[in-house]
Structure 1
Amino acid sequence: MNSLHQFFFGYFPYICLAVFLVGSLLRFDRDQYTWKTDSSQLLRTGQLRWGSNLFHIGILVIFFGHAVGLLTPPWIYEIFISTADKKLMAISVGGVAGVLGLIGLSLLLHRRLSDPRIRATSKGADILILWLLWAQFALGLATIWGSVQYHLDGAKMAQLSAWAQHIVTLRAGAAELLVDIGWITKAHLVLGMTLFLVFPFSRLVHVWSGFGTLAYLRRPYQLVRSRRLGLGERSDAPR
């Protein structure tokens, strides 16, 4: 194991997580007016609708699939499913979601690069993020071929899960678990961590707002006083 491997899979995850969390907090505190998606929907709607929907379906399935698949200890999921069957499910579901996401991103990239008005209003960071996400989806799909050919027993997936769980629980020796992992998978992991690194400095921060809207489900009704009502009367209206 060389020093570069140790850096990317032993130290780099913590750098990315620290920048992701602290950077997001600082941006929300200092630059709330930049906390938005910068949507170009008013300029051109049709292709955006298809591309955005396909991309969001794909990335949400993959995000939650990775989170559950990598961070769930084996003693929990082996009650319901074997490691090999879990691997097959990850390949099938992740493959479909990956294809949908890649098609969506391709539409979004074509729209942003081919339309002069949208290109003129686009920031360099917007285009960079789309390319990074496209490459990440492509690398993820590329790992499926090797998995189908050589790793259907789920052993490599178990290694990746052990690495992720070592990282989030601050245990030493995480990098050693990935020494024999293929270079495509390693590139997929590094690029995925890099997305967390650039997250606070891009339009991706609007993802936090999406999760934040769930808090509204538990908020109480707001009492609103109508001007037409008397002083002793009230009107209840949802906020």
Structure 2
Amino acid sequence: GVNSVLVFGIPTHKDAVGSGAYEKEGVVQKAIEGLKENSDLMVIADLCLCEYTDHGHCGVLDADGCVVNDDTIELYGKTAVSQAEAGADIIAPSGMMDGQIAAIRMALDDAGFKNVPIMAYSAKFYSAYYGPFRDVAESSPGKGNRAGYQMQCGNRLEAMREIEMDVAEGADMIMVKPAGPYLDIIREARDRFDLPLAAYQVSGEYAMIKSAAANGWIDGERVMMESLLGIKRAGADMIITYFAEEAARIL
């Protein structure tokens, strides 16, 4: 019952400019090729540099340790093309840089991938719920944090502005991340925009339900399904979740 996957990767080496993200033989590029050759899955490629930089930030840094937006989105475009060349069906940029959707759309179009759609991480909040994923993906910032380019948790209006800008730049799908703590954002986005809407139930949401179930505090299966139902009820067309296999078996 699982018919699509979102691919992330941990490279064998990391550097200041995240070159592993756009290498032809990079870990994600190989994974995409393998999945397309050996399955009928729809493959969505997450696009960011944080897993590939030695400093853990989502872009190139200047001498003061600040992310350089324009240099970063140029590399995002390069990464998108390499992922499309590997066979990715959808490109999903998650770095939250200004102008990233327009830059990626232009790069894809110029490389002959006009029909490869973009799933924009449009409303991605500076959240504490990402912890388990960052540990596994070895992508936590070495210094500082991502508050400068991800959204502040209490700012609903900014979320709508960010989505609106991504739509104007050519996004084909929009996303809210995390999902559970931001059901109001999902609902408002559904009411205001008519593009397909994804919601990402992130690692911290998954881990809390799993750990509570393991301790016997909750009925894990029921809470899992209730959490997914809440996200769907709020207006999500698609749910990205670590529960995908378990939920598919039940459904």
TM-score normalized by structure 2? 0.29
- Taking CA–CA contacts closer than 8 Å with sequence separation of 6 or more, which of the two structures ends up with the larger relative contact order? 1
TM-score normalized by the length of structure 1 = 0.30
Q: Which has the larger radius of gyration?
A: 1
Higher strand share: 2
